Amino acid sequence: MNRTEVPFDFSFPDNYMEIKGHDVRLAVSKLHDFSDTLGLLASYSLMYAGEEEYSHFKSLDEIKIKCLKRIYLNNAILWYSNCFDILLQSIWFMDRIWQYYNDGGTLLKDYHKLRNRNGKDFVDIKRNIDGWVQLAEHNCEYGKIQKYLRAYHKKSEVLKELKKFYNKYIKFSSGTKPNIRMLANQIKHNSSLKLKEFETKTTFNLKTDNPMANKILKKNENIIVKFNQVFYNKDAPEEKGKITLSYDKDILVDIKYDNAEGEEFRGQDLLQIVFSIEEIENELNNYHNDIIELYYIIKESFMDNITILPSIKLQENKSDSITIHQPELIPYLEDEEESKK
């Protein structure tokens, strides 16, 4: 699948002018960071997770190639997930959305999830004090931005496309296909990326006292098997509980104690959602193209506020004129002596 070319539309934020009521350069810096992260980190990680990148490495065996792909796929998921957060922060700063959730802000009252790490009811952000930018970044959330856009820009293209992208790639799904945000959170908080290519299926031999059943088991590899095994306390003959082994696509072991205080331990709680490298690659390719479309919509909504800093547009500078003189050519001493001859 072809990936859309990553846009690099903005130079360094210091080259842009600020306007009252917005933080233009902070917003531009986020768009600049978006392109940098998407183009130089996420895209390259995804590229090196591709099958064709290792065809010329004759010395690498199949396991080593799979391990390399797993590493790059882990990186790609994390960087692509980060790209969405950076885009959110561009909107957050351009319209100073954080101020609507400050003490006395118009959106604070109806929003009940404003809790920082210290458990305070809200975070009161004040501009131009040390650390305010980092505090604002920390408190940027999709839910807050969506609530702001609904209240003040209800019919905007940004609200519509942001919600569409969120529902498709960010909102946690049932697990029938890879979800980039869910995979990123799994990598960051739970465990490394689980892939079908690294799965090892449980195999076992099963034989019963029934000759007909043995024939069926031998012929049909896809048959579902389930049986119970009683377990006992080694010092007492009474039954303590049951172990249930079942096999469908893989083995599950359930352990249940019989007494009133006994507990049940389900085998399915150990299962994790697993996808193939190709499945995740395809989803990341779609994510790549769609997040660039979202970027262009957000960028377009900013354009009325983004202008180049007047001091670097010399041809439009109406202050003191600047005259640049061509430097005088000073001949070498030997040249002067040569001319006197």
DSSP per residue, 221-278: TT--EEEEEEEE-TT--SEEEEEEEEESSSEEEEEEE-STT--EE-GGGG----B-HH
- Tell me the β-bridge partners of 16: 308
Let me know if residue 321 belongs to a domain.
Answer: no
Residue 262 falls within a domain, yes or no?
Answer: yes
Q: Domain count of the chain?
A: 2
- Are both 253 and 108 inside the same structural domain? no
pTM greater than 0.85 (yes/no): no
Same domain, 170 and 297: yes
Tell me the residue range of the domain where 254 lies: 211-270
What the block records as the tokens of 298 is 């957000």
Residue-by-residue pLDDT tens, the chain, 341 positions: 689 999 999 999 999 999 999 999 999 999 999 999 999 999 999 998 887 777 667 677 888 888 888 899 999 999 999 999 999 999 999 999 999 999 888 998 766 554 544 445 567 899 999 999 999 999 999 999 999 999 999 889 999 999 999 999 998 876 678 989 989 998 888 877 887 777 766 666 666 677 776 666 665 666 677 888 888 887 777 888 888 888 776 778 888 888 766 788 988 777 777 888 889 999 999 999 999 999 999 999 999 999 999 888 654 444 444 444 444 444 444 444 444 54
Please indicate, yes or no, whether residues 78 and 194 belong to a single structural domain of this protein.
yes
In a domain, 333, yes or no: no
Domain match, 64 and 189 both: yes
Q: Do 151 and 133 reside in the same domain of the chain? A: yes
On whether both 147 and 287 belong to a single domain, the answer is yes
